[in-house]
Structure 1
Amino acid sequence: MRTHTLVPSLLLLGTLSLTAACSAGSSGLSGTASPDARPGSGPGSSPVHGVDPSKIKGLEIVNDSSEQSSCRFATSYPDVPGAGAMTAAMKKDVEQRLTTFREGACAGGAGGELNVSHQFLVASGDALGVRLTTQDGSGAGSGLSTRTYWYDGKAGTYRTALGLVAEGSRDAFITALKDQLRGREGFDGTAFDDTFSDPASRDAALDDMAFTADGGLRVGFDRGEVGAPAAGSYLVTVSKKTVTPWLSAFGERAQRQTMAPSRSLDLGAANTPAPAVPTHTASGDDDTDCKKVTCVALTFDDGPAAPETATLLTYLAQYRARATFFTVGQNVAAHPDLVRAEAQAGHEVGNHSWNHPDLTKLPPEQIASQLARTSAAIKAAAGKEPTLFRPPYGAINSTVRAATGLSPVLWDVDTEDWKYPDPNKVAQTVIDKAQRNSVVLMHDIHPTSVAAVPQILRTLTARGYHFVTVSHLRATL
């Protein structure tokens, strides 16, 4: 559970003076980190095309998280209609990661943090590619690993990364990789040969491949796979001219769709209607005077999520309640329509980082990038940049403060809704603990948390509470 010392609400709401730090980080709306940021990439390699996930009909992002101080994790992966086998593969891998983390770091009391985030590589025609990036801070070393997942819509089949290369061409492909790695600092040719002499270890090592914008095939190797661990990870890019003759039929289609994406993705899924997005519109600026009436600020982290956030917006509208949503950038990119609906309904949209890492464990430039990319995604969706941010896990220090001009927001009522998936318990926690000017922490990625909201609104409204945004609460105190 989160273990924050409870302090008066006025202190929590006080605006902190922060040093603004402009970020040169990417403002693209998909993925977790630029593929070019990985060490060992070759010179002159073309970047991977960005993908707008909001164009994928029926897309859902599967999120899970734990705020427990000794077992912090945040995971996400996409569920794309028509690619059920690929979704199942990602789900299996993420759940295995979580099981290992819980049985190791969590059970042993070592703490640490697990973060699994996603990036779309291609979503065009009948080709779908996704990269999952895992950061496991519970052990030694960088804890960073990546894996790509592919779906062949024409064949209706999930493909591993190696499925991009024709079976008869794999030996030549592997030799080309070794030739490019030879001479790089830390590369171990003997370790490379040992890895690729065994089919199982070969498949495991070649689990991160993606096409660049100019048709080359980029291959990533995790720390210690083909070289000394101290040398870190490696990137190798095989040019389009070299790799194209070695590609499988699916690889050729994935290459073409990456270089020249079509406007739609068709994986043969049944045409199911997308969940409706609420169209509630605020009647004007909130004129609630929190000096004269009892106010409370409901805040919702980690969204937006479909369909949970849409349901929540409808509940709030029924009571003319306003709330603050601290959104995660990769979810904003997938569901900008929900963020737009939040803003149009008079709610406040805040920044909760791009993929929910503990910001205190990142260098300043990565902190700035996490927040800047998310702010850009929010502005693109809602037309206005946020002024507030909530640091994931409530973890903040002077480095985080100095990396952004956004004002931090914590809380004084923690529902622990991630821990107790019981609507009645979540609702009762808010009803029992909320006081004048309280800031309440909930999460709109959990259906049980959303289900608790009508009881909260009904009961507290009857007691004379008014539901306002965090910024309105601050401004009127």
Structure 2
Amino acid sequence: MRTHTMAPTLMLLGALSLTVTCSTASSAYSDAATVGARTGSSTASARVHGVDPSKIKGLRIVSDNSEDTSCRFATSYPDVPGARAMTAAMKKDVEQRLATFRSTACEDGQDNGEGTELNIGHQFLVASGDVLGVRLTTKDLSAAGSGLSARTYWYDGKAHAYRTALGLVADGSRDAFVTALKARLKGREGVDATALDDAFSDPASRAAVLDDMAFTADGALWVTFDRGDVAVPAAGTLTVTVPKKTITPWLSAFGKRAQQQTVQPSGPLDLGAHHTPAPAVITHTVSGADHTDCKKVRCIALTFDDGPAAPETATLLKYLARYHARVTFFTVGQNVAAHPGLVRAEARAGHEIGNHSWNHPDLTRLTRRQIISQLSRTNAAIKAATGKTPTLFRPPYGAINQTVRNATTLSPVLWNVDTEDWKYPDAARVARTVINKAGRNDVVLMHDIHPTSVAAVPEILRTLTARGYHFVTVSHLRATM
């Protein structure tokens, strides 16, 4: 009986030449969780095209965070004009994960004394022609094991429709596709035969387990299974790479277009959006250095974390220009990559640009290699935008230890005044907090991803200027105190 049931599968495998990469969660997701890029095999990793998000017209990064020491989170996903249904799907998933995290990890007191954390970052897989692909990578420290998972989202501009990962494969080819995957996975270390059968037992289960698929630059298909999907958790993630010649006949019409746009991008992304927001044009430029002597006058350093954000940062720059105020922006790398023009505008206006990691994880929970990746990748994005490498960094959540210090030559910057603007979306309250708490040579923490925080700035500038304060960058404050 076994011979008869396995023979077709073995013949199919012989034709497929599938490859499987098995790795532990710590290795397979080490960069995925911290810099937003998933890894499979090292050879396949080198064959992935990069996407320049700054070329996506009207792109907005939707970000949210909490600085609560016992319930830390930072989430982001892209909002691309024309891909409303896909944006809605990502929004729903992120909000559900965040709600679950808050209820189970924060409200129920699962804190182990060190605080817990949720981080959701994004990576563009393809953004060309009428095809958009995005991967969201989640690190949930309140979950069992590594808490790492990922999901890919696809948008078909030709049909104006959101597609799941399984939508890359034609309906009539899914049985053959699944049979091939199961056969190749069976016998791998840690794979449980019963769990494998259950994972593909019905359409709903298939869609759930096959939720992370993407093409390499040579047209092969990566199928990645999260930790515990088809194997015991200790086995980590499993990635099956299906060669182009094998997968192409099984692809849906959209899947073939997604494959083609990944292999050979045809040009700018065009999803047929009726309206694409135009980027704000920031013209304010300063010439010369700031000669404010903080030994003789009252100085204060306003700092803004987590940006740049569109349109909030552009609005903030206009407010600052009116009062000739200089501030320090601690930018997140994935947002710098999306909006380098805003970072250039910050620098031209005399503001200081600091490093706030690639996607806002607690650096003290990472390995040295991961910390270096977080900071060096962000340094590179800032230098590409401004021509200068930053000298300062602010560790997300203010979390720093000796491992973090030893992994970088950047100088860490914390704060004296916390506005808690992430907790209270009230411009008047944020302004009162700064005005009431501000003291000479203080460093104030704010976030330019929140519209209410930006709206608080004019009152802060107006009131403190009247009190004789000068607004300077952190480095200038340090150098002249």
Q: TM-score scaled to structure 1, two decimals?
A: 0.91
CA distance in 1, matches of 2:304, 2:199: 46
Pick which of 240-249 and 47-56 moved more.
47-56
Structure-2 change in CA distance of 1:35 and 1:411 (3 Å): same
- How many residue pairs are counted as aligned between the two chains? 446
Letter in 2 for 1:54: S
1:425-444 pair list within 5 angstroms: 425-444=429-448
Alpha-carbon offset, residue 273 of structure 1: 4.3
Deviations 1:372-413 (A, max 9, x none): 000000000111010000000000000000111100000000
| 1:177-219 deviation per Cα after TM superposition (whole angstroms, max 9, x unaligned) | 2233234321223211111012111100000000000000001
| Counterpart in the other structure of 2:340 | 336
> Which residue of structure 2 aligns with residue 460 of structure 1?
464
Q: 1:260: how far off?
A: 0.7
Determine the C-alpha separation between the residues in 1 that align with 2:162 and 2:239: 24
Matched, 1:286 2:290: yes
Q: Which residue of structure 2 lines up, in the alignment, with residue 398 of structure 1?
A: 402
Whole-angstrom distance in 2 between the partners of 1:474 and 1:345: 20
d(CA) in 2 for partners of 1:97, 1:430 = 33
The answer as to 2:412 corresponding to 1:412 is no
The amino acid that maps onto 2:268 is S
Query: Are positions 1:35 and 2:77 aligned together?
Result: no
Tell me by how many angstroms 1:48 deviates: 2.1
**CA displacement at 1:310 relative to structure 2:** 0.2
Given the alignment, which residue of 267, 273, 280 partners 1:276?
A: 280
Q: Distance in 2 between the 1:63 and 1:79 partners?
A: 10
CA contact (8 A) 2:81 2:276 kept: no
Q: Is the 8 A contact 2:213 2:222 kept in 1?
A: yes
Map of 2:354 onto structure 1: 350
Report what 2:62 is aligned to.
Answer: 62
For 1:18, the equivalent position in structure 2 comes to none
Name which of structure 1's ranges 418-427 and 276-285 shifts more when overlaid on structure 2: 276-285
- Contact 2:73 2:117 (8 Å CA) reproduced: yes
Q: What residue identity is the alignment partner of 2:351?
A: H
User: CA separation in 2, counterparts of 1:435 and 1:211?
Assistant: 54
- Deviation at residue 33 of structure 1 after TM alignment: 3.8
Partner SS state of residue 35, structure 2:
coil
Q: CA deviation at 1:268?
A: 0.7
Q: Partner of 1:98 in structure 2? A: 98
How do 1:12-411 and structure 2 match up within 5 A? Answer: 32-36=35-39, 38=40, 41=41, 47-111=47-111, 112-411=116-415
Would you say the 8 A contact 1:177–1:238 is kept in 2?
A: no
SS in 2 for 1:252: helix
CA contact (8 A) 1:46 1:214 kept: no
User: 41-50 vs 100-109, which deviates more?
Assistant: 41-50
In the alignment, the residues of structure 2 paired with residue 43 and residue 380 of structure 1 have an alpha-carbon distance, to the nearest angstrom, of: 27
Aligned mates of 2:363, 2:292 — CA distance in 1: 34
C-alpha deviation, 1:277, in angstroms: 2.8
- How far, CA to CA, are the matches of 2:276 and 2:253 in structure 1? 29
**Quick one: which amino acid aligns to residue 115 of structure 1?**
N
| Long gaps (5+) in structure 2 | 1-30
One-letter amino acid matched to 1:260 = Q
Question: SS where residue 35 of structure 1 aligns?
Answer: coil
Deviations 1:23-63 (A, max 9, x none): xxxxx9xx934432x5xx48667532110000000000000
Would the aligned equivalents of 1:296 and 1:466 in 2 still touch at CA under 8 Å? yes
The answer to whether the 8 A contact 1:35-1:47 is kept is no
- Give yes or no for contact 1:35–1:48 (8 Å, CA) kept in 2: no
Structure 2: which amino acid aligns with 1:268? Answer: G
Amino acid at match of 1:178: K
Contact 2:117 2:140 in 1 (8 A): yes
Q: Deviations over 1:297-346 (max 9, x none)?
A: 00000000000000000000000000000000000010000000000000
CA contact (8 A) 1:187 1:228 kept: yes
Distance 1:472 1:326 in 2: 15
> Match for 2:191: what amino acid?
F
Corresponding residue of 2:13 = none
Aligned to 2:159, the other structure's residue is in SS state coil
Distance 1:382 1:278 in 2: 15
| Alignment root-mean-square deviation, CA | 1.5
8 Å CA contact 1:439–1:470 kept in 2: the answer is: yes
Tell me how far 1:439 sits from its aligned partner: 0.1
**Take 1:293 and 1:409, find their aligned partners in 2: how far apart are those partners?**
22
Structure scoring higher RCO (CA < 8 A, sep ≥ 6) equals: 1
Deviates more, 1:133-142 or 1:392-401: 133-142
C-alpha contact 2:301 2:477 (8 A) present in aligned 1: yes
The alignment partner of 2:268 has SS state of coil
Give 1:279 shift: 1.5
> How far does the alpha carbon of each residue in 1:208-260 deviate from its partner, in whole angstroms, 9 at most, with x for none?
00000000000110111111111111111100010000000000000000001
The answer (yes or no) to whether the contact 1:45–1:237 under 8 Å persists in 2 is no
How far, CA to CA, are the matches of 2:68 and 2:296 in structure 1? 37
Distance 2:306 2:152 in 1: 24
Match of 2:19 in 1: none
Residue aligned with 2:293, SS? coil
Percent identity of equivalent pairs:
77
Q: CA deviation at 1:109?
A: 1.9
Quote the offset at 1:110 in angstroms: 1.9
Equivalent pair of 2:36/2:122 in contact (CA under 8 Å): no
In 2, Cα distance between the equivalents of 1:104 and 1:305?
30
Instruction: Find the residue that maps to 1:201 and give its secondary structure.
Output: helix
The one-letter code matched in structure 1 to 2:78 is P
Counterpart AA for 2:437: K
1:311–1:450 Cα contact (<8 Å) kept: yes
1:102 alignment partner AA:
R
Which amino acid in the other structure matches residue 203 of structure 1? A
Q: Give 1:16's aligned residue.
A: none
Residue identity matched to 1:210: A
Residue type at the aligned position of 1:244: T
Deviations 1:425-463 (CA, angstroms, capped at 9, x unpaired):
100110111111000000000000000000000000000
Are the structure 2 counterparts of residues 197 and 86 from structure 1 closer, same or farther at C-alpha, using a change threshold of 3 Å? Answer: same
In the alignment, the residues of structure 1 paired with residue 145 and residue 155 of structure 2 have an alpha-carbon distance, to the nearest angstrom, of: 32
